[in-house]
Structure 1
Amino acid sequence: MTRDKVPATIDVAAAGAIPAEFRYWEQLDDPRVQRARRAWRTAFRFDPQPADDLVRTFGESYYQADPVAEAFVDEVYLGEIGPKAGRAMLDQALAHGIESVPDAPPTLIRLFEEFETDPEWLDPDLVARGAKVFRRWGTSVFSFATTSTLEIYSESSVAKPLSYTGGYAGDRAHKRQLETVRFWIDVSDPGGLDPGARGRQTAMRVRIMHVFIRRKLMQRPEWDHAAWGVPISIGDATLTLLAGSVVPGLGLWSIGHQTTITEIEATLHFWRYVGHLLGVQPTWYPRNFQESVRIMFAAFVKRAYTAGADGEELVESYLPAFEPNPDSPWPKRIRDHINYRIQIGYTAFWLPPATYARHTMPRRFPWVLHPILQAPLIFGAETLRRTIPGLDAVADRVQRHRREQWYRNEVGDREAEFTPVEEFRR
């Protein structure tokens, strides 16, 4: 790919434009939407429907991406320096600081000025508390976050990039899913976002990977800018951050986790900082529980359900990715058989029944009973953790160990790469 083939700017729509498939205002008065709105208002004592100005700003963010990282990729990876030397510069700056890179190009300096400068809103203690809450959810959040994403694969702006690259479809689904889990573990480990830490470095590598995927997709004639916005937009990326905070904070109560509103707001702040490092920096990012619910309300109301066969393939590739490898040693095969059925149970429990039934999926019973049966045990353990001094720290150590063991059982000694695909599958 040569530089003159790269679009000059990622903002391909006129100022104030909103993608055609952002159908919020067309669907807002649907009786089902308004019934859900009234039910929420009754249960939580506030209106989940956001102001129109916020919705419009959210819609416009589907034409916004990451201009700082885009400029770096243009000048270094796609310019005279080249991808190999560019990657070496990036690795050197991540490991030893931008000062250690001789003759660093201006765009790399600008990228690291932003990356290493704390935003004004940052509260490091709140970030640490949010990361600890995320760790406390253990391996359950891996399944919950992915299952909640399956429901959104109905949307073309989410499904098409994943389908075109093939990263979460077919045989490659397991590898990419486990790379995502590795990212979640790295950024949420204690100190994982400190300068030089593994999570912080991973965030930058994922950020650059997204630039390459975005650029390749924008050059494809089938990418519908008018309908979907830009690939991996600020809008969809922000929803991904909320899928790691407010959504599991509420949803994991269903299996016994006791997450307070204050703790949900800590995870919001944690993921906002992760997003900042990833180049996802909307000024309208929710600061509290009520604001986050309003963004999620808009996200669900605006859905267009146009992903079609691409979205169906992504949904139906998820669970088969956990099927045991018949060539594995028998101890691992047994663990994999158990884990596969656990994943069926979680997916069948959390994915809306209509969505599960609409796709070709493994049989739900009896595995769907697993989350229900474990809920009293988790609720009891959570109650003890909240009431007995010292147990919170013990629970944190246990969950950190369980996360790493779960990951290693899936991938063995292989390390996550976080590299963009070289060729799209179609």
Structure 2
Amino acid sequence: MTDMRWTNEFLDSMREVCDPPADEAVQSLFTQGMVGSANELMKQLVANETVTAEQLPVPLRGYFEQSVKLPSWADKELIREGQAAFSRCGSLSVVALVCASLPTCYAGAEGVQVLHLTARLQTDTKRRIIETAQMVVDVMSPGGLEPDGWGLRDAQKVRLMHAAVRHLIRQSGRWNPEWGQPINQEDMAGTLVTFSVVTIRALVKMGYTLEPREEQAYYHAWRVVGYLMGVDERLLPETYEEGSRLADAIFARVFRSCEQGKVMTQALIEQVEHIIPGNLFDGLCSTLIRHLIGDETADLIAVPPADWTRALIKPLQLLGWVMDEGDEANIVNAKLSELFGRKLLEGIVWVSRGNERPPFRIPESLRESWNVRSREQQLA
């Protein structure tokens, strides 16, 4: 049953609302001639991992001071428990991101237009994978949402980058008003639940079931992130169960097949196979996507048919793992998915983000517990 708080009328109205504080800050920059272009602002934000008030143009200082505050309902103990659950999930969380969260976003026919309009498919798809993975690791690492935490800084920057993208798209004249506003509230909420609800659902399908308290904690951490990134509190329901109903309500409205979503999905699959060294896991990315998001959604974005024999049985045999007949229904298990995620993370650590971008950062404690080799260890 659809929650009456999220009627079509209400969600339609949310498609016309963006993020006034961040949008006004960016608009002030351009009005006062403090930055030459939205692209220039984006480059500055990407190049500087740490930002102090003294480094910022005056119009952005107030924004950064206000956007650093956690909501009054933030439960720090619950956040810590959610981050601990992330640590225990290990690289499965990254698999959920790449093979469930991102493809789910591509199924939103209007929201994906922003990604397509701003993407150079080869360079930006790789960058989006790496930088989104970096945000997830930063937010969900211990201390990530503390005042000096990397996750808190990431949320502030991404929120401002969204405002810059909106400005850029509006200036381009290529936006169709029928899509709603670019990066609007419904699309932001829909994206947010892919990091919480969709991830939790994907973990279950990979053989890792969170306890009810862990589910709530994991969801709560991302609910706080949503607040920090400017999502309307009416689209930040309190519990995981409510968040799950909101996710289903939004997906039922926005999921449609479109060429842009198919192109983004194909670019994602190609980049994942490029990032992971060797060819042992070729075909596994598309097979996992179809398994984790379901055939109906996978068909919308033209995910290739699942090829269990090529994608899974061969790697299992080569790795010396025993697979009994009749195991096909449970073949996507935590062990294989975790190995895939670990190799994906090692590939992300290895791949450069470009001359102006810092290397991928993962806390040593997580890298060791997840058994992910550093760049130096891969070189040895």
Same fold (TM > 0.5) = yes
1:209 paired with 2:165, answer no
Alignment map for 1:95-174 (pairs within 5 Å) = 95=50, 97-98=52-53, 100=54, 105=58, 107-148=59-100, 149-167=102-120, 169-170=121-122, 172-174=124-126
Question: RMSD between aligned alpha carbons?
Answer: 3.8
1:313 paired with 2:263, answer yes
Deviations along 1:224-269, whole A, 9 cap, x unmatched? 22x2211111211112221111222233212211212322221221
Give the structure 1 partner of residue 242 of structure 2.
291
Q: What residue ranges of structure 1 are gaps of 5+ in the alignment?
A: 1-47, 326-331, 382-397, 419-426
With 126-135 and 178-187 compared, the bigger mean Cα shift is at 126-135
Q: Which amino acid aligns with 2:63?
A: L
Give the structure 2 partner of residue 365 of structure 1.
308
Identity %: 21
Give the structure 2 partner of residue 353 of structure 1.
295
Secondary structure (helix, strand or coil) at the match of 1:287 reads: coil
Secondary structure (helix, strand or coil) at the match of 1:271 reads: helix
Give the structure 2 partner of residue 408 of structure 1.
349
Q: What residue ranges of structure 2 are gaps of 5+ in the alignment?
A: 317-327, 360-380
Give the structure 2 partner of residue 247 of structure 1.
198
Alignment map for 1:165-184 (pairs within 5 Å) = 165-167=118-120, 169-170=121-122, 172-184=124-136
- How far the C-alpha of 1:109 sits from its partner, in A, is 3.6
Deviations along 1:73-97, whole A, 9 cap, x unmatched? 1222552322599789989x98575
CA contact (8 A) 1:268 1:288 kept: yes
Higher alpha-carbon Rg: 1
Deviations along 1:325-364, whole A, 9 cap, x unmatched? 8xxxxxx843xx2354442442242243355467363762
What is the TM-score of this pair, normalised by structure 2?
0.75
Could you say if the C-alpha distance between residues 95 and 187 of structure 1 is closer, same or farther in structure 2, counting changes exceeding 3 Å? same
The partner residue of 1:256 within 193, 201, 207 is 207
Secondary structure (helix, strand or coil) at the match of 2:307 reads: coil
Secondary structure (helix, strand or coil) at the match of 1:338 reads: coil
Q: Which amino acid aligns with 2:292?
A: W
With 354-363 and 239-248 compared, the bigger mean Cα shift is at 354-363
What is the TM-score of this pair, normalised by structure 1?
0.68
Cα distance in 1 for partners of 2:110, 2:238 equals 25
- How far the C-alpha of 1:161 sits from its partner, in A, is 0.8
With 253-262 and 355-364 compared, the bigger mean Cα shift is at 355-364
1:338 paired with 2:280, answer yes
Could you say if the C-alpha distance between residues 353 and 214 of structure 1 is closer, same or farther in structure 2, counting changes exceeding 3 Å? same
1:375 paired with 2:333, answer yes
Deviations along 1:140-191, whole A, 9 cap, x unmatched? 2223233334244243322111111125x34532222111111111121111
Secondary structure (helix, strand or coil) at the match of 1:243 reads: helix
1:56 paired with 2:9, answer yes
1:269 paired with 2:235, answer no
Cα distance in 2 for partners of 1:356, 1:295 equals 20
Cα distance in 1 for partners of 2:32, 2:15 equals 27
Q: Which amino acid aligns with 1:350?
A: L
